[in-house]
Amino acid sequence: MNDNWMEHPVLEGPRIRLEPLADAHVEGLLKAADDPDTIFAWAHLVIRDLDDARTFVREAVADPSRLPYAIVDRATGEVLGSTSYYLLEPAHRTLVIGYTWLSTRVQRTHVNSESKLLLLQRAFDDLGAVRVAWHADERNTRSRDALRRLGATEEGLLRKHRRRRDGSWRTTALFSLTDDEWPGVRARLEERTVR
């Protein structure tokens, strides 16, 4: 078990690679943001041009509570989106996965399943996490449905949890997965990534 929870290694699967987010990903992120109105409907920052992509990378990398990744196609080197660990609490063996977005052309494909498998393997198998959580805007049915399909448990709603881009308060749906549930979820994700 690795106790260095702030280590930020490359995570490699059969078809995708999660690379620590860096300036080298800026142009690829802009290309992946192929429908900003859909992709970023629930985000704090929309990527519409290179300056937005640079800001996205700069803010993600500067956040001390976050380990951001670029999701990269292993065969082509194309950036497909981004995801992060955040709110890592080694003392409590917990962390949150989020800030996830994918190019519309790879949504509902192996990409999300494989990236979640890589992140969860690192969390549970390498770091010894006992709980992984996700936060989704209560109105974001797409993300909430994806988390249910993953096998995460919806635990409830956190009222006035975060500010939206427009300044309104969001209620957050809290989901989690524990180490006891991980073996079953791992088997389902492994099956999905070979399709």
Per-residue pLDDT of 74-99, as tens digits, reads: 999 999 999 999 999 999 999 999 99
Count up the domains in the chain and report the number.
1
Range 46-65 average pLDDT: 94
Encoded amino acid at 194, one letter: V
The pLDDT score that the predictor gives to residue 131 is 98
Backbone angles phi and psi of 65, in degrees to 5: -100, 15
Query: The tokens of 181 are what?
Result: 């549930």
The domain in which residue 174 lies consists of: 11-193
Q: What does the radius of gyration of the chain's CA atoms come to, in whole angstroms? A: 16
The pLDDT score that the predictor gives to residue 195 is 62
Q: Is residue 5 part of a domain?
A: no
Q: Tell whether the model's pLDDT for residue 166 goes beyond 90.
A: no
Q: Is residue 4 part of a domain?
A: no
Q: Which SS3 state, helix, strand or coil, does residue 151 take?
A: coil
The pLDDT score that the predictor gives to residue 46 is 86
The pLDDT score that the predictor gives to residue 45 is 74
Q: Is residue 2 part of a domain?
A: no
The percent of residues above 90 in pLDDT, for the chain, comes to 77
**Better-predicted residue by pLDDT, 38 or 185:** 185
Q: Is residue 145 part of a domain?
A: yes
SS3 per residue for 29-74: HHHHCCCHHHHCCCCCCCCCCHHHHHHHHHHHHHCCCEEEEEEEEC
Which CATH number belongs to the domain containing residue 137 in this structure? 3.40.630.30
Q: Does this model's pTM top 0.85? A: yes
Q: Is residue 114 part of a domain?
A: yes
The pLDDT score that the predictor gives to residue 36 is 79
